[in-house]
């Protein structure tokens, strides 16, 4: 199942239950950036990230494929990729986990947001 369809279906369930959580992305890859945090790249482009201001600090929830759930802090970032012989240049939104215990997460981890900004 594609991430956008999966998250849309789950988000509908939460809205029906009176919750206002949004699936921001489903992780394709994560990279540790020493001194900064962990960069999370999405499986597919998610429009909700495009709607948020760059560098916004969000209180999010990581939902791991094995069922574990973890509170985290993430900022909205923009990643640019230069063109190569096989790909065109592109710019996409990503999340940077910035909390002290941030570590790379497995592919398939979902990042959910209830609309709250992070308290620094």
pLDDT per residue as tens digits for the range 2-19: 444 446 444 444 444 455
Domain carrying residue 65: 3-117
Residue 98 half-sphere exposure toward CB, CA atoms < 13 A? 17
pLDDT per residue as tens digits for the range 74-108: 999 999 878 778 877 788 899 999 988 889 999 99
CB distance 102 to 38 below 8 Å: yes
Distance CA 85, CA 11 (A): 39
What's residue 13's pLDDT?
Answer: 41
If one counts the domains in the chain, the total is 1
Q: Which two tokens stand for residue 66?
A: 């094995």
Q: What are the beta bridge partners of residue 62?
A: 70, 111
Distance CA 87, CA 49 (A): 23
């Amino acid at each position: 199942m594609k991430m956008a369809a999966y998250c849309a279906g789950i988000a509908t369930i939460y809205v029906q239950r009176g919750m206002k959580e949004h699936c921001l992305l489903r992780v394709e890859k994560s990279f540790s950036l020493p001194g900064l945090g962990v960069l999370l790249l999405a499986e597919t482009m998610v429009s909700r990230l495009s709607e948020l201001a760059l560098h916004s600090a969000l209180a999010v929830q990581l939902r791991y494929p094995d069922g574990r759930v973890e509170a985290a802090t993430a900022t909205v970032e923009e990643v640019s990729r230069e063109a190569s012989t096989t790909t065109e240049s592109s710019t996409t939104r990503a999340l940077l986990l910035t909390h002290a215990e941030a570590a790379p997460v497995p592919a398939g981890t979902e990042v959910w947001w209830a609309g709250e900004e992070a308290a620094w």
